[in-house]
Structure 1
Amino acid sequence: MSDPLSKMMRMPAKRLPASEVPPPQPEVEDMAQSMAELQDKQDTSIIQIKGDIDLHESAQGIWVQIQDFFEAGSLFQLAIILGLSSLAYTISVMWQKKFRKLVDEAEKPIFSETGKLWIRRVNRVFFPAILAVFLLTCTQVAAWLSWPADLLRIAMNLAVAGTVIRFISTLIQSRVIAKWVAGVIWAIAALQILGWWGPTTSVLDSIQFGIGTNKISLLTVIKGLFYFVLFLWTATILSRVSEKHVKRIEEMTPSLRVLLTKLIRISLMVAAFLLGLNAIGVDLTSFAILGGAIGVGIGFGLQKVVSNFVSGIILLLDRSIKPGDVIAVEGSFGWVNTLGARYVSIIQRDGREHLIPNELLITEKVENWSFSNNDVRIPIKVGVSYNSDVRKAMELCLEAAVEEPRVKQFPKPVVRLTGFGDSAVDLEIRGWINDPVNGIGNIVSDVLLRVWDKFHENGIEIPYPQRDLHLRTLPADMMAHLKADVKNDLRQEMAAEAQAKN
């Protein structure tokens, strides 16, 4: 006979309809949430206690190491470290002297400027790098012979840190940033040597703060900043290297070179930013929506900046303005030095550099003297007296223009009579040049100086402004007053002269 209880267990369970299933009680949900928060607090407390215990144990270990330092084995390690340091320093000095002698005695340059720069960087890290290799070898030998090597490991870590710091400081141009980087590397090396690296990371990981439903630790923030700086710095170096290589490509036009370098720089910066986000665990798919919203906000807030950037891209694509072009815009005349992301640099003949926004070059009128070609016609105005031979003066002006080396002989220069002025007959010398980048005022001055010499040699008069004054008949009383005033002025002048002689 079967047991009634077993029959009930074998019976299939009846499933209630969805409409009859009771909804979850709010009290149960609040209780579950409270339990979860309590569990998180307990985990955080455990991590903090563990970090404190690790720090305490590390401090005790350091005290033991200080006591062991004065033992015979430690003094022997210290002697090895001093000997290896002297040997590494001697080798580095000999290498630097040999390299300098090789470069100085060479008849032709052995290395380019970039090669010399990298050699100087290697010279700076040569001593700590050799010392690190020597100490690493001694550490491995000591481990193989089961000898104590604690001080050797510490010295090796310091040598490696010094090598990294010296090499990075040669790559960073800013001294302030280089000092900050050196301080961070020395701090990491000190934590590794003292055995505090693990406890420190545990404490930093236990310090958390919430952003919405997510929790981020202080360690994650520090890692994120490190990755961002590292990737952006790497992208900057790569963009500079690529820019140098692009400038060496002679087949490219100047505008295409600038456009390509800008695209490479922007691509590297965006890639560095995305890699930094990915390194700290940010989901890039969710960031895409946020990035779109941020882009819209930036577009409204930075309309002028975005407009100048887009205008710069348009200038590079249509090649209406290129580096080296001679342009005139809003009273600024000179040649284009650089095409930037926000502005165009124009250098005038007097050395002043004007920064013209890219948007202005798109929306305003711009005179490009070298858009299709470099040929420019220069007008030079000259005036001669009405008493002079005008035809002879025109021949002399033409000779002066032909003798100027910068004036092209085809099309030939010409001289035109442009009008009859108040004091002179107006002439104009018209000549073509194909190097406006070398200046306009200097060639005008040279031609006018030749005209001056030729006019004096051939008796051509250059007039000065003059006016004829015609006096009509005046009334008798006014004429009498004028004569009296003139006589008084003459008497006063004569009296003053006599007094001065006495």
Structure 2
Amino acid sequence: MTTTPEPITDLDSWLAALLRPTALIELAALAVCLALAWGLVWLVRRTVGTPEENSILFGRRIGDGVMFPLLLLALGMLARLLLERWVPLAVFKIAMPVLVSLVVIRTGVKVLQVAFQNAPIVRLLERTISWVAWLAMVLWVSGLLPVLLDELDQIKWKVGSSELSARNMIEGALTAGAVLIVTLWISAAIEARLLRKATGSVLSLRKAISNATRALLMFVGLLVALSAVGIDLTALSVLGGAVGVGIGFGLQKLAANYVSGFVILAERSIRIGDFVKVDSFEGRVTDINARYTVISAPNGRESIVPNEMLLIQRVENLSLNNSKISQSTEVAVGYDSDVDLVINLLKEAALQEERVLREPAPSVTLTAFGADGLEFNLGYWIADPENGQGNLRSAVNLRILQALRANHIDVPYPQRVVHAPVAKPAEAVSTAVSPA
């Protein structure tokens, strides 16, 4: 036999319902839902293995991802459906809005953290989502939400042939935010799937596909959100024409950088991981975004290069076909030195460094008969320029100096011959002294 639960209409009824013995049953049901959700997430994490650090579903810990609050909300709704047939609900009427708010907050925060890593606006958006979710929860529980929506619906104004209200604007903003969160979640999942274990040219191509997919999904999501609010999309044709004119006049550079980014990723002339030199700045390409490319130098400095610059200026890609680059150093010895011994010592000094390639082998040439001595050029190849070039050249030079000193080979100082005129001795001057 089932009984109809009594409605709770005022504060006294709330307090009375929370003090009933049935409230303990609701709390026990919530505890069971919490334990089940925790156990299921733990079991899934154990089954699929260690999740990625930026996983939206799992996160770093069990309660950090979206899966835990989603499962808890689903189990809570199921428990509520089962309990409301026999007992009057009080705890669940508070718990369900709280769980919904937790799901909204956790989903929005995790998606924004993955989609816009280290962006300053992420923190502001996280706080905005939290405040809006908790405010909606309080209004829902207190019963003021329908009243507030009715009051906002009375605030209307006319825009052309359409009539808008404050309620429509707020609902439209929330709908657009929810749709964009979902599209960002889908694009982040696609990006993680595409970029997993990809390297070299494959990584650049997949990065281009990922960027295009994200832009397309956000555009479609925005259109869906506007349609859900009731805005006529044909009215956007005028806005589209204005945006086109703006791009043609004021946003040329911005549009050129975006187009250049897709061109670079598509033709793969510069790939993530390449060692390049742009405008006297050398470094490895660590990221290619739609508008700019990040180049990291071995000394820790990073350069943000607009993509248009990579297309219209001369760029040295030191690892387009292969990562090998050559280095050389000049050495001068005295004219009385053993030439064959000097050549062997220079080659051995280079080969003592592990980073110097054995194939092709280091080469030594006698380049000039200098004013101060014989001038030799030592050339060698390396395959890891990202680990620094100046440090290796310094190490090779030190080994050369040690080898020459150990074999008593003179490294001459600059010699100059200065011719100076010799002064003639002063002639004796005879002075006649008259007798007194």
Structure 1 residue 161 corresponds to structure 2 residue 97: yes
For residue 463 of structure 1, give the secondary structure of its aligned residue in structure 2: coil
Q: Which amino acid aligns with 1:235?
A: T
**Whole-angstrom distance in 2 between the partners of 1:98 and 1:205:** 43
How much has 1:271 moved relative to structure 2? 1.0
Runs (5+) with no aligned partner, structure 2: 1-6, 114-121, 427-436
Aligned to 1:213: 161
Q: For residues 171-228 of structure 1, what are the alpha-carbon distances to aligned partners after superposition, in whole Å with 9 as ceiling and x for unaligned?
A: 3045654443343334334444444443332221221112233321111111111112
Residues 469/220 of structure 1: CA separation in 2 closer, same or farther (3 Å cut): same
Aligned counterpart, 1:346? 295
Q: Return closer, same or farther for 1:81/1:196 CA change in 2, 3 Å cut-off.
A: same
Counterpart of 1:211, as a letter, is V
Partner of 2:150: 202
* Identical columns (%): 31
Map of 2:83 onto structure 1: 138
Q: How far is 1:285 from its partner?
A: 2.8
Q: What RMSD, in angstroms, separates the aligned Cα atoms of the two structures?
A: 3.3
Task: Give 1:293's aligned residue.
Answer: 242
Shift of 1:96: 5.6
User: Would you tell me which structure has more helix in proportion to its own residues?
Assistant: 1
**Cross-structure match for 2:356:** 407
Q: Does 1:452 align with 2:388?
A: no
Instruction: Tell me whether 221-230 or 205-214 shows the greater mean CA deviation.
Output: 205-214
Q: Which deviates further from its counterpart, 166-175 or 232-241?
A: 166-175
Which of residues 262, 265, 271 is equivalent to 2:214?
265
- Distance change >3 Å, CA 474–CA 365, structure 1 → 2: farther
SS of 1:313's partner is: helix
The TM-score with structure 2 as length reference comes to 0.80
Q: How far does residue 130 in structure 1 lie from its aligned partner after superposition?
A: 5.6
Aligned equivalent of 2:284: 335
Give the number of the structure whose alpha-carbon radius of gyration is greater: 1
Amino acid at match of 1:227: T
Are 2:187 and 2:217, in contact at CA under 8 Å, matched by a contact in 1? yes
Q: Distance in 1 between matches of 2:73 and 2:243?
A: 47
What is the match of residue 112 of structure 1?
Answer: 51
Gaps of 5+ in 1: 1-60, 143-148, 478-502
Please tell me the residue identity of whatever aligns with 1:112: P
Q: Report if aligned partners of 1:400, 1:451 keep a CA contact under 8 Å in 2.
A: yes
Corresponding residue for residue 381 of structure 1: 330
- Quote the Cα distance in structure 2 between the aligned partners of 1:389 and 1:190: 91
Do structure 1's residue 65 and structure 2's residue 4 form an aligned pair?
Answer: no
SS in 1 for 2:86: helix
Does the 8 Å contact 2:26/2:91 carry over to 1? no
Which residue does 2:176 correspond to in 1?
Answer: 228
TM-score w.r.t. the length of structure 1 is: 0.70
The verdict on how the C-alpha distance between 1:409 and 1:70 changes in structure 2, with shifts beyond 3 A counting, is closer
| In 2: Cα distance, 1:175 partner to 1:137 partner | 39
In 2: Cα distance, 1:387 partner to 1:87 partner: 97
CA separation of 1:346/1:132 partners in 2, compared to 1, >3 Å: closer, same or farther?
Answer: same
Q: For 1:228-251, what per-residue CA distance to the aligned partner results, in whole angstroms no more than 9, with x for missing partners?
A: 211222222222211110012649
- Structure 1 pair 246–407 and aligned structure 2 pair: CA distance change class (3 A): same
Post-superposition Cα deviations, 1:384-403, rounded to whole Å, max 9, x if no partner, equal 12342333212211222344
